[in-house]
């Protein structure tokens, strides 16, 4: 083979790589979603299949793991490997799978109740572990599958549930702020009604080396019909993404919770079970920890 | 410890072979101990793997004669599926159809009940025509075997039977192993759980007795031998 042949092959390979071999619909299964008409989760499903097609990920190399809830039905609607697990345990499942099969693209998905209530502790430790996972939380601020109870992200004065006729009276869980405090290296917020924007966020999240948390505002048309107003209220988070934790904290706290985009991104060592994260990394463990402290927790 | 490790290794193999969950029970004292033992027994059969898929969706939960469905692992082209916690059809899609529920439930029961678990379902000592059978499981076995030795030395033929597989219970094999012997079920818990479980499964002959004692003090061979002797004396069968 001559140098010219080699160059031609490279060009051909590049050209071939630029042609998507699979389309978004190829990542959808034949199972019809049980979601209510108008549910925001349809937008997340569409964005995710577009993302997988855009990234040209072979379906057999992708695994989507979920917990329990309306949003956790997601894996059944995809033509990739899926695991519909148990309530709140999506991140332990995803963690184990990624540890055993690090070559797979592992995506965890679920809702606000699943991820921030019963699975809240797993969320904290997945953030600080920084394993190469993408975690999509479809937040509709309500337990929809069980017919409309307040979740950790519900407003304290929301009183449409018979269980909390006077509201919960509790401050809301702040997903992005807590993810930052817990050590997540990628934090983004998307809106289910903007599948194209969400596709860009999901692609960035999957390509990010480390734990990527994508908080998706996904309206529940049945139990939170007022969330239809999100379409007019969401806005781009123009100041992001921050690459410094202190700046990100300020950005997140100043935002009204409806700002969309990558809020924080930082490259720090990725946790890999029993394998050195970076072969070129010659730091000792203590040096690496000190570097993380200096960068992330100043 | 060795007696504990063997069933755990076997349970792991069964879980892979039968595509099911396996639950191992261990005494807390064993759980807090450590011992380096020999290697686990070799796998008895390979895990079923999937055949190449056709045009339709991969039927991960296909209804088969032995109840074990083809299974793929991530990375195998065309064999992706979703493992769903909800009841499902043969392709894995959640289903509320009664026929799917029954077919999948029947399949799971079939694979567990028709599997040949071999001779490891229990550890048995003593003659088949013994007058007394001391029936136990788990960590009580050592004390039971020692008690049987003392009773045998005193002239009472005793068989010991320590269950390794609690479920699916090998009922026919258990009743055959007991034969015509009187039964004393020996266990270390307050509620005589094994005794009641075996009764519920109709796996004990009439007149079976229970010796159950909660921890933390372990059952001693002397206690077991005394209880066994009292049982046989009450029947007028002691020798």
The mean of the pLDDT values for chain A is: 90
- Determine the Cα angle at B37 with ends B32 and B42, to 5°: 120
Which candidate in A60, A74, A88, A109 is best for mutational testing of the B interface (most B CBs within 10 A)? A60
Q: Does any CB of chain B come closer than 8 Å to the CB of residue A11?
A: no
**Statement: residue A18 has pLDDT above 80:** no
Same domain, B1 and B43: yes
User: At B7, phi and psi to the nearest 5?
Assistant: -65, -35
User: Could you tell me which chain B residue has the CA closest to the CA of A65?
Assistant: B82
Q: Residue B30 belongs to what domain range?
A: 1-47
Q: Is-contact A69 A143, C-beta < 8 A?
A: yes
Amino acid A156: pLDDT: 97
pLDDT digits (tens, 9 = 90+) for A221-266: 999 999 999 999 999 987 779 999 999 999 999 999 999 999 999 9
pLDDT digits (tens, 9 = 90+) for A53-81: 999 999 999 999 999 999 999 999 999 99
Among B116, B143, B173, where does a domain finish?
B116
Same domain, B162 and B219: yes
Q: Is-contact B14 B22, C-beta < 8 A?
A: yes
Tokens encoding A155: 């407003």
Of residues B231 and B55, more confidence is placed in B231
Interface of A with B in 59-88 (CB under 8 A): 59-61, 63-64, 68, 73, 75-76, 78-86
Q: Does any CB of chain A come closer than 8 Å to the CB of residue B23?
A: no
Out of A179-183, A261-265, A279-283, B157-161, least confident range: A279-283
List, as one string, the DSSP characters of A226-253: GGGGHHHH-EE-TTPPBSSHHHHHHHHH
**Band of pLDDT at residue A276, cut at 50, 70 and 90:** very low
Task: Set out the domains of chain A in order of their start, with CATH numbers.
Answer: 35-296 (3.40.50.970)
Count of domains observed in chain B: 3
- Looking at beta carbons, which residues of chain A come within 8 Å of B93? 29-31, 76
Same domain, B96 and B198: no
> Strand (E) positions, B166-224?
182-187, 209-212
Which SS3 state, helix, strand or coil, does residue B95 take? coil
Per-residue pLDDT, averaged over A200-220, amounts to: 98
Amino acid B33: pLDDT: 77
Among B82, B116, B150, where does a domain finish?
B116
**ipTM exceeds 0.90:** no
Give me the torsion for CA of B233, B234, B237, B239, rounded to 10°.
10
CATH number at residue B198: 3.40.50.920
Query: CB–CB of A76 and B84 under 8 A?
Result: yes
Dihedral (CA of A159, A161, A165, A168) sign: negative
């Amino acid at each position: 083979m001559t140098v010219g042949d080699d160059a031609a092959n490279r060009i051909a390979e590049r050209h071939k790589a630029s042609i998507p071999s699979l389309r978004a619909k190829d990542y959808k299964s034949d199972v019809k979603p049980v979601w209510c008409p108008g549910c925001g989760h349809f937008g997340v499903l569409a964005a995710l299949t577009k993302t997988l097609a855009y990234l040209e990920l072979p379906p057999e190399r992708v695994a989507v793991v979920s917990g329990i809830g309306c949003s956790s039905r997601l894996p059944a609607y995809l033509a990739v490997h899926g695991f519909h697990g148990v309530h709140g345990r999506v991140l332990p499942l995803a963690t184990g799978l990624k540890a055993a099969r690090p070559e797979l693209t592992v995506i965890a998905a679920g809702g606000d109740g699943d991820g921030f209530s019963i699975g809240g502790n797993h969320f904290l430790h997945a953030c600080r572990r920084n394993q190469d996972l993408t975690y999509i939380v479809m937040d509709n601020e309500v337990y929809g599958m069980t017919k409309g109870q307040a979740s950790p992200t519900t407003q304290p004065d929301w009183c449409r549930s018979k269980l909390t006729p006077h509201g919960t009276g509790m401050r809301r869980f702040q997903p992005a702020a807590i993810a930052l405090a817990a050590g997540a290296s990628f934090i983004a917020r998307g809106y289910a009604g903007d599948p194209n924007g969400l596709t860009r966020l999901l692609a960035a999240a999957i390509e990010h080396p480390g734990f990527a948390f994508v908080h998706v505002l996904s309206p529940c048309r049945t139990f939170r019909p007022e969330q239809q107003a999100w379409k007019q209220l969401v806005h781009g988070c123009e100041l992001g993404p921050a690459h410094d934790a202190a700046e990100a904290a300020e950005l997140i706290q100043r935002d009204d919770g409806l700002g969309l985009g990558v809020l924080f991104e930082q490259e720090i060592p990725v946790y890999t079970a029993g394998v050195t994260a970076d072969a070129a990394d010659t730091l000792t463990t203590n040096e690496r920890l000190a570097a993380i402290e200096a960068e992330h927790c100043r | 410890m060795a007696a504990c490790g063997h069933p755990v290794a076997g349970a792991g193999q069964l879980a892979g072979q039968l595509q099911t969950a396996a639950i191992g029970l261990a005494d807390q004292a064993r759980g807090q101990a450590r011992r380096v033992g020999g290697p686990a027994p070799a796998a008895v059969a390979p895990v079923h793997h999937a055949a190449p898929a056709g045009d339709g969706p991969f039927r991960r939960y296909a209804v088969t004669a032995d109840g074990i469905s083809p299974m793929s692992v991530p990375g195998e082209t065309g064999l992706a599926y979703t493992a769903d916690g909800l009841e499902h059809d043969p392709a894995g899609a959640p289903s509320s159809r009664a026929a799917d529920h029954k077919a999948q439930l029947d399949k799971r029961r079939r694979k567990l009940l028709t599997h040949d678990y071999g001779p490891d379902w229990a550890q048995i000592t003593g003659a088949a025509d013994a007058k007394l059978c001391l029936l136990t499981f788990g960590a009580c076995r050592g004390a039971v075997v020692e008690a049987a030795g003392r009773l045998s030395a005193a002239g009472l033929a005793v068989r010991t039977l320590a269950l390794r597989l609690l479920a699916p219970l090998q009922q026919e094999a258990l009743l055959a192993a007991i034969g015509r012997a009187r039964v004393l079920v020996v266990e270390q818990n307050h509620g005589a759980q094994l005794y009641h479980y075996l009764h519920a499964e109709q796996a004990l002959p009439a007149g079976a007795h229970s010796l159950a004692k909660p921890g933390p003090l372990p059952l001693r061979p002397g206690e077991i031998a005394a209880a066994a002797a009292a049982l046989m004396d009450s029947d007028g069968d002691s020798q």
